[in-house]
Each structure stands twice: as structure tokens, then as C-alpha cells.
């Protein structure tokens, strides 16, 4: 028989949002671009990178996402975003193995949103 309380509890957990802001290990959280945070909606993760003070045209290792919200060890998540001009794009990658978040941008700042399912 269906356990209604258990089912409703799982549904609420799936749709409750947990937002965690963080300080990057390279660059600075850029409030104009929304700062840096990740959100967890059940098994769905959203990582927002609003950064300044990065090294242009180089790989910037900006954060290590906690194990509880990182992709599986065999996955790498990729995304593109803005750096203040539509003719330029910034790129980011999250490695599932160690949770390293890397950004490459032609400018010294970026705005990137990434999503994955745990």
C-alpha cells in the first residue's frame, strides 16, 4: 500500500531549495553578476559563478564543489556563459572526481550557470 506520508516527505525534499554561497579560491565573488553559490533541489544541482579578478585566457581553478553535490566520479559538466560582451564567451568545467571547478574567460570576469543531476 502507498505510504502517503513517506511519499509527501520525498516530494517536499525534492522541491525544497538549499542555497549555499561560497568564496572562490581564485578571483572574487562578483555581486554585479550574482556572486557565487550552488543550490540543491532534491537531486538537481545549480552552480552559479559570478566572478571577477580572474586571469584572462588561462585556466582558473576557482572552487572545489563539496562531495555531496558534485557530479559522479565519471562525469564532467561543461557550460558556457558571459563575460560582459556578447561577442565573448566564458567556459567552465566541474570534474566529478575531485569536484574542481575551472573557468577560462577572455576577460577577468564571468557569469556562468551550470546544472546537473546527482
pLDDT in tens, 33-58: 999 999 998 889 999 999 999 999 99
- Model confidence pLDDT, tens digit, residues 62-109: 999 999 999 988 899 999 999 987 889 999 999 999 999 999 999 999
**DSSP string for residues in 4-55:** HHHHHHHHHHHH-EEEEE---SSSEE-GGGT-EEEEEETTEEEEEEEEESPP
How much is the average pLDDT of 1-30? 82
Q: Domain limits of the chain? A: 17-117
| Residue 86: C-alpha distances to residues 35, 79, 106, 111 (Å) | 20, 15, 12, 12
Provide the pairing of β-strand 36-41 with 44-52. antiparallel
pTM: 0.86
Q: Determine the topology of domain 17-117 in CATH.
A: Immunoglobulin-like (2.60.40)
Amino acid at each position: 500500500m502507498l505510504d502517503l506520508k513517506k511519499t509527501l516527505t520525498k516530494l517536499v525534499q525534492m522541491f525544497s531549495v538549499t542555497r549555499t554561497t561560497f568564496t572562490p579560491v581564485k578571483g572574487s565573488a562578483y555581486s554585479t553578476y550574482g556572486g557565487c553559490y550552488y543550490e540543491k533541489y532534491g537531486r538537481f544541482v545549480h552552480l552559479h559563478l559570478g566572478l571577477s579578478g580572474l586571469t584572462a585566457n588561462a585556466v582558473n581553478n576557482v572552487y572545489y564543489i563539496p562531495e555531496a553535490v558534485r557530479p559522479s566520479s565519471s562525469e564532467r559538466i561543461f557550460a558556457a556563459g558571459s563575460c560582459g560582451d556578447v561577442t565573448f564567451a566564458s567556459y567552465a568545467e566541474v570534474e566529478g572526481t575531485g569536484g574542481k571547478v575551472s573557468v577560462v574567460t577572455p576577460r577577468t570576469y564571468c557569469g556562468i550557470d551550470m546544472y546537473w543531476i546527482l
